[in-house]
Amino acid sequence: MLKIQEIEVKSVMSKSNLPVADFSVNPYVGCLHACKYCYASFMKRFTDHPEPWGEFLDVKNWPAIRDRGQFRGKEAFFSSVTDPYQPHEAKYQRTRRVLEQLQGTGIRLSISTKSDLILRDLDLIRSFPSSRVSWSINTLDEEFRSEMDRGVSIERRLEAMRQFYEAGIDTTCFISPIFPGITDIEAIIRRAKGQCNLVWLENLNLRGDYRGRILAWIHEHHPELDTLYRDIYTRKDRTYWSELDADMRHFCADEGLRYVRNDDSVRASHGEPPVVVNYFYHEEIIPSARKEQLRQTRICC
């Protein structure tokens, strides 16, 4: 049974340790999308919840945001350790409340989600001076998707991406995490490239309690990949990622796409082919997210 409760926090805005933004915004603690591979599942130990990750949700309440002038020209990232548009956002509207409070401050938005509920706020998001929205899509196979997360279908994510792109908002197809031997990167890029400005690629990192969970799933459903996953995640062999990097470079050249590595500053214009950014070795995201949660824990107390 899901446990959902409201909590009081000092602030919903925190200075960010992530390279992509000045502020991090997490309107919830926990995430009901319950991704099996979620790096943020480590945050459970900072809560009093005995429930498994994905079975609890703390809905934040906070005082009015003050000193609005500090946000002009800055960027806010929604969200480093939760999905801002998980299903209960439809009821509690915590993400929408933050957006309404930040409207007119001059802050830029960067939003990452697995949901199409964000369509509700399209006009609000478009009112900010600069916004970019990314959808996590690491497969076109609905059976595999449903094994890994409780987000909306891939087609619904792609449709939301299309509507934002056509509304003139920068969109990103975030192919993450890439499951070696399973994720068909080329098929996803071909499906999404007409409705996004950027394609971000990120490798599957296996750490913490979800490492065993993912490896057990691979062994049960894809035993033919056991050796590959052992090479990558036990022997720390990067050959797979190096070869995939080379393959993607050739693929992008053939498709007329620009291909770069580990560059957070890349932007692409509407009407041009999307830029493909390779983050195969962008491993600082997990420790940075851990710092984010430690900061959020201090704010909540």
Q: Are 216 and 36 in contact (CB under 8 A)?
A: no
Full strand arrangement of the beta sheet holding 131-136: 13-15, 23-25, 75-78, 108-113, 131-136, 170-178, 198-203, 275-279, 258-261
- Model confidence pLDDT, tens digit, residues 35-84: 999 887 777 777 888 888 899 999 999 999 989 999 999 999 999 899 99
Residue with tokens 């993400």: 95
- DSSP assignment of 65-133: P--GGGGTT-EEEE-SSS-TTSTTHHHH-HHHHHHHHHTTS--EEEEEES-SGGGGGHHHHHTSSSEEE
Q: Which of 158, 163, 208 is nearest to 188 (CA)?
A: 158
What single-letter DSSP state applies at residue 279? E
Q: Beta-strand (E) ranges in 138-285?
A: 170-178, 198-203, 258-261, 275-279
Domains annotated on the chain, with CATH: 3-300 (3.80.30.30)
Residue 54 Ramachandran class (φ > 0 left, ψ -120 to 50 alpha, else beta): left
Q: What is the pLDDT of residue 190?
A: 98
Mean pLDDT in each 10-residue stretch from start to end of the chain (301 residues)?
Answer: 93 88 95 90 77 92 93 95 96 98 97 98 96 97 97 98 97 97 98 96 89 96 98 95 96 96 82 90 47 44 33
Phi, psi at 49, each rounded to 5°: -85, 125
Greatest alpha-carbon span in the chain: 56
How many residues belong to the chain?
Answer: 301
Which residues on adjacent β-strands are paired with residue 14?
Answer: 24
Residue with tokens 């932007």: 267
Cα 198 off chain centre by: 14
Please give the Cα distance from 175 to 274 (Å, whole number): 13
